[in-house]
């Protein structure tokens, strides 16, 4: 059945979810407080880079099935179900999540509800948030609005956001067990096409759903830091972390995914989620349970220092004045997101050490310039590499993976490359006369 759906927040998650809902046949209203973003989306433009999303947004904006507004009352009046997809960033100077934006949606939306409504939270939140908000909705919603709140965490990856939204591995819905069960019925209707394909649908209590989300991200972060910790051992023993990861990854209980050693994890989610999780555990009096996540964070941040140390070694110990090309600014390829980007962080550290840094990223330069305006950005690979004494591959874009070492050799002043993502073929670069440094291999 076709429903009318609203999505609050039109960032990476919200815009993708709104387009996905339209693709599933629903009429969708995307709401954001950012007028410029809404204006662009209304013209069918996506204000960030996400493969496949512009086509989907344009298709559904043109068909009239998807529209965008800053006016929350439109959603309150028209939608059967409201998704919350606003940001939950790390609070300045603290580990905890900033809940202002999620709270603001409830404070704005709930009093305006005029008909029986279901609110489904998608943002990643500290455990206990959904129960708190469910109570607040009951307080604020006018009589007759009969509003029910449930939590439906999102697991999409940037770069694969459309695919993950339309074909998720699983759907999780945390419901208030004391409720009338309308949220579950509504979620089943909203996701009918996805469920018809046999997608696992797990209905839990509110706290479990919130914890599923942060546990999944904590596990992924831990897996990455595990292999990066092993990479540190490989670096001092001459072992090869990639071969090691292949070998342990064949064990199905371990699995090969997320065992990519390198510059470590970044982005708008993994780093802030493991910190918020620790903060919440502390508030709950069980901070000790998640002490290991502090170590996960530390191992991760050490990788950024490690590549700076390697770069210094490559230029004879003195970074001051050394020409360094940093290839990549995004936190991962196929995204223009530079939030907590290991690439940009490493570039910033090199700059602070006095290096003459040139950063090139095929998509993320504008975002990078906004957060790190002092760095010098190049508009092409050639420009960044011209005269470089060392190259750091910091984000594994295809453009970098496909570089021909013979061709790049003609651009640089010295054939020295640090493969911060283990994405190049070491032997090919060595054969072309390069000094090659990998992560946890060819150290
Ligand atoms: N980016 C991702 O890949 C994923 C993100 N998440 C979670 O989803 C949430 C959103 O993340 P992103 O989309 O990356 O953040 P984002 O920062 O890209 O987007 C958040 C959007 O919310 C808008 N907003 C703020 N207050 C608002 C309000 N009161 N009403 C309407 N809109 C408002 C902002 O203007 C912004 O456009 C976070 O909790 C995040 O942890 C979960 C899974 C994947
Ligand atoms: O909650 C979220 O927002 C999302 O966070 C991550 O998705 P995302 O941040 O888009 O990116 P990932 O693909 O998980 O990569 C995160 C970081 O880990 C790094 N990484 C990943 C894999 C690996 O083996 N090694 C490694 O260093 C990447 O380069 C990147 O910097 C999760 O994978 C999603 O399931 C989740 O929904």
22 with 51, same domain: the answer is yes
Of 135, 170, 199, the one marking the end of a domain is: 199
Is 128 a member of any domain? yes
Closest C-alpha to ligand 1, atom 15: 87
Is 372 a member of any domain? yes
177 with 233, same domain: the answer is no
Cα-to-centroid distance, 19 and ligand 1 (Å): 15
195 with 222, same domain: the answer is no
308 with 416, same domain: the answer is yes
CATH of the domain at 228: 3.40.50.720
Is 410 a member of any domain? yes
Give the helix/strand (H/E) hosting 362: none
Q: What are the tens digits of pLDDT across the range 126-145? A: 999 999 999 999 999 997 77
Cα-to-centroid distance, 395 and ligand 2 (Å): 13
167 with 54, same domain: the answer is yes
Of 166, 199, 232, the one marking the end of a domain is: 199
Q: Is the CB of 260 under 6 A from ligand 2?
A: yes
Ligand 1 atom index nearest CA of 267: 1
Ligand 2 atom index nearest CA of 157: 10
CB–CB of 141/110 below 8 Å?
Answer: yes
Give the mean pLDDT of 3-12.
98
48 with 102, same domain: the answer is yes
The whole-number pLDDT of residue 340 equals 98
Cα→Cα distances 295→65, 90, 224, 269, 429, Å: 47, 18, 12, 17, 34
Q: In the annotation, is 269 catalytic? A: yes
53 with 96, same domain: the answer is yes
- From CA 33, how far away is CA 279, in angstroms rounded? 28
pTM reported for the whole predicted model:
0.97
What six digits make up the tokens of 34? 């950012």
Cα-to-centroid distance, 268 and ligand 1 (Å): 9
14 with 113, same domain: the answer is yes
Q: Computed from CA positions of residues 212, 173, 108, 21, in that sequence, does the dihedral angle turn out positive or negative?
A: positive
Closest C-alpha to ligand 2, atom 22: 258
Confidence of residue 175 (pLDDT cuts 50, 70, 90): very high
Domain that holds residue 189: 4-199
Looking at the structure of the chain, the number of domains it has is 2
Of 199, 233, 248, the one marking the end of a domain is: 199
Ligand 1 atom index nearest CA of 86: 22
Q: Is the CB of 270 under 6 A from ligand 2?
A: yes
Q: Is the CB of 32 under 6 A from ligand 1?
A: yes
281 with 395, same domain: the answer is yes
Q: Is the CB of 34 under 6 A from ligand 1?
A: yes
The answer on pLDDT for 115 being more than 90 is no
Cα-to-centroid distance, 157 and ligand 2 (Å): 7
ipTM over 0.90? The verdict is yes
The answer on pLDDT for 379 being more than 90 is yes
């Amino acid at each position: 059945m076709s429903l009318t759906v609203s999505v609050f927040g039109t960032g990476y998650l919200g815009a993708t979810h709104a387009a996905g809902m339209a693709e599933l046949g629903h009429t969708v209203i995307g709401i954001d407080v950012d007028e410029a973003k809404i204006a662009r989306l209304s013209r069918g433009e996506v204000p960030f880079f996400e493969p496949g999303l512009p086509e989907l947004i344009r298709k559904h904006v043109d068909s009239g099935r998807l529209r965008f507004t800053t006016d929350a009352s439109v959603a309150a009046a028209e939608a059967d179900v409201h998704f919350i997809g606003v940001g939950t960033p790390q609070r300045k100077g603290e580990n905890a999540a900033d809940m202002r934006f999620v709270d603001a949606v409830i404070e704005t939306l709930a009093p305006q509800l005029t008909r029986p409504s279901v609110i489904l939270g998608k943002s990643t939140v500290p455990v206990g948030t959904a129960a708190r908000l469910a109570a607040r909705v009951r307080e604020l919603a006018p009589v007759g609005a009969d509003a029910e709140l449930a939590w439906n965490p999102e697991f999409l990856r940037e770069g694969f956001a459309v695919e993950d939204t339309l074909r998720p591995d699983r759907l999780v819905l945390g419901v208030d067990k004391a409720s009338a069960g309308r949220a579950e019925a509504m979620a089943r209707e909203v996701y009918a096409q996805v469920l018809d394909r046999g997608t696992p649908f797990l209905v839990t209590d509110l706290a479990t759903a919130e914890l599923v989300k942060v546990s999944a991200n904590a596990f992924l972060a831990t897996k990455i830091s595990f292999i990066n910790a092993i990479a540190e051992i490989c670096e001092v023993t001459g072992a090869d972390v990639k071969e090691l990861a292949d070998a342990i990854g064949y064990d199905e209980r371990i699995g090969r995914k997320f065992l990519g050693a390198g510059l470590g994890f970044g982005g708008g989610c993994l780093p802030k989620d493991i910190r918020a999780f620790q903060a919440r555990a502390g508030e709950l009096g069980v901070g000790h349970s998640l002490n290991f996540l502090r170590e996960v964070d530390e191992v991760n941040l050490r990788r950024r220092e490690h590549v700076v140390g390697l770069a210094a070694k490559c230029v004879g110990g003195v970074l001051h004045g050394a020409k360094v090309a940093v290839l990549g600014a995004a936190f991962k390829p196929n995204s223009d997101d530079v939030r907590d980007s290991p690439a940009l962080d490493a570039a910033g550290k090199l700059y602070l050490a006095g290096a003459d840094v040139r950063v090139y990223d095929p998509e993320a330069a504008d975002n990078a310039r906004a957060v790190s305006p002092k760095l010098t950005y190049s508009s092409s690979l050639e420009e960044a590499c011209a005269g470089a004494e060392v190259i750091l591959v910091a984000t594994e874009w295809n453009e970098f993976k496909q570089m021909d070492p013979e061709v790049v050799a003609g651009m640089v002043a010295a054939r020295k490359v640090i493969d911060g993502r283990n994405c190049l073929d070491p032997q090919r670069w060595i054969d072309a006369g390069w000094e090659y440094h990998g992560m946890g291999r060819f150290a």
